[in-house]
Structure 1
Amino acid sequence: MVFDCKSALECVMRKDFDPETVKADGRSAAKGFLFDPTAPGPWRGSLAGETIGSPVTVLAYGNDTPGEGPPLHVHPYDETFVVFAGRARFFVGDQVIDATAGEAVLGPAGVPHRFVNLGPGRLQTIDIHHSDRWIQTDLA
């Protein structure tokens, strides 16, 4: 069962579609290596969707240094950033968006973007590339 919880006390059972209208496509469940949680330094890793038969690629990113982050870059597909620890400032085209743990930010296809750790402390993100492989052009 999937629940739509608007608060810790209010959960509603969801039924967004009729399961009889969707047929399995024959793929098996799969797993792949994203990152080594015991490795020192920035927590980084990637798992190409094509490795596990998925239409999305997942990156794990983290750093402990305020002001640090990936360089300005662009993708030919959307990227969704999920902040799950710390605070980040995203630069997406002409927009500046601050996000904290529990928030997600969209970087639309073809729009240059980057982000930095606002501190204090560690920034951890999961970055979802809407492509079965990571395709990127660095601009800075």
Structure 2
Amino acid sequence: MSTKATRAPNRPPVLIRAGDGAHRNGPWSGSVSSKALGTDTFVLFARFDEVGSGPVLHVHPYDEIFVVKSGRAIFTVGGETFEAGEGDVAMAPANTPHKFKNLGPGPLYTMDIHLNGEWIQTDLYDPDAG
């Protein structure tokens, strides 16, 4: 098996400056569209300042990958619950209910990679929500 990387011909590299993507709405808050990247991947940069904050229970019809840039989170993916910290990577398979919350003590920064050309989300009833 070859480990040599190959690149599609006639496809230029892409650079999206922080002000146009990851920091468009303040530090580590924004997104980069699949159109801007020229791929079928949508990237969301999320910041949750308050302990306990995070997205509601939801599903996507595609896989989603989470990279914890800094902070600590408690993830629920399907029937599994686990803690993730700086540098950890988690994945929620397509059509699997998932959510995460900031465990603190400071802000939680994540990069959420949606393996789809557009962001499609269905929010769900969460029996754990107050």
Q: Give ranges in structure 1 of 5+ residues lacking alignment.
A: 1-14
C-alpha change, 1:106 and 1:65, in structure 2 (3 Å) is same
Match for residue 73 of structure 1 among 47, 58, 82: 58
1:51 matches 2:51: no
Q: Percent identity between the aligned chains? A: 43
Q: How does 1:98-113 map to 2 (within 5 A)?
A: 98-113=83-98
CA contact 1:62–1:124 (8 Å) conserved in 2: yes
CA contact 1:27–1:53 (8 Å) conserved in 2: no
Partner of 1:26: 10
C-alpha change, 1:37 and 1:122, in structure 2 (3 Å) is farther
Partner of 2:26: 39
Q: How does 1:82-93 map to 2 (within 5 A)?
A: 82-93=67-78
CA contact 2:31–2:43 (8 Å) conserved in 1: yes
Report the number of matched residues: 122
Partner of 2:103: 118
C-alpha change, 1:96 and 1:120, in structure 2 (3 Å) is same
Whose RCO is larger (CA < 8 A, sep 6+)?
2
* Structure-2 separation of matches of 1:30 and 1:135: 24
| TM-score, with length taken from structure 1 | 0.77
Name the larger-Rg structure: 1
1:96 matches 2:76: no
**What is the letter of the counterpart of residue 23 of structure 2?**
D
1:124 positional shift: 0.5
**What is the letter of the counterpart of residue 56 of structure 2?**
P
| TM-score, with length taken from structure 2 | 0.83
Deviation per CA, 1:27-74, whole angstroms, max 9, x where unpaired? 22223422336737xx43121112220221110001121111011111
Write out the 4+ residue segments of structure 1 that deviate beyond 6 Å after TM superposition. none
Partner of 1:127: 112
Question: RMSD over aligned Cα, in angstroms?
Answer: 2.1
**What is the letter of the counterpart of residue 58 of structure 1?**
V
